[in-house]
Amino acid sequence: MLAVRSKTVHRALRPRTEKTDVSLKRKALSLALFLIVAASTLNALFGDRGLLELVKARQEIESLDREIVTLRTQNQSLLEEIRALKTSPLAVERLARENLGLVKPGEIVLLIRDTGRSSDSGPPTRE
């Protein structure tokens, strides 16, 4: 047992050789390369211009494209309504009746209340 301990002490006291220096340099270089690759990978995934930001940006672009299509459709409908209101007195009358509740002199207005029942359910019953 003493012999093993003395060899261990002897190795610890042994001066470094060229071979051990090269081995340490390789380990240091490997560690440095690993850290550089790890940092680059993390930056590529989570950085300001990373993969996650790219995915978010693409989702936002798709959402905005859908919104543009919806707004263009609404815009087209509004332009058609404007043209109709400029050219057709009937369109102006319809809009006045629907939105303002206006009626012509002598007309009778009938208000029909929707009871929420279908017409197939029979006559209403008193409860």
pLDDT tens across 99-112, in order? 988 888 898 888 88
pLDDT value, residue 44: 85
CA 98 from centroid of its chain's CA atoms = 39
Instruction: Identify the band that residue 49 occupies on the pLDDT scale cut at 50, 70 and 90.
Output: confident
User: Structure pTM?
Assistant: 0.48
Per-residue pLDDT, averaged over 13-34, amounts to 82
Query: Cα separation of 35 and 41, whole Å?
Result: 10
Identify which has the larger pLDDT, 123 or 97: 97
Residue 52 CB contacts under 8 Å (≥ 6 apart), including other chains? 45, 46
pLDDT value, residue 38: 93
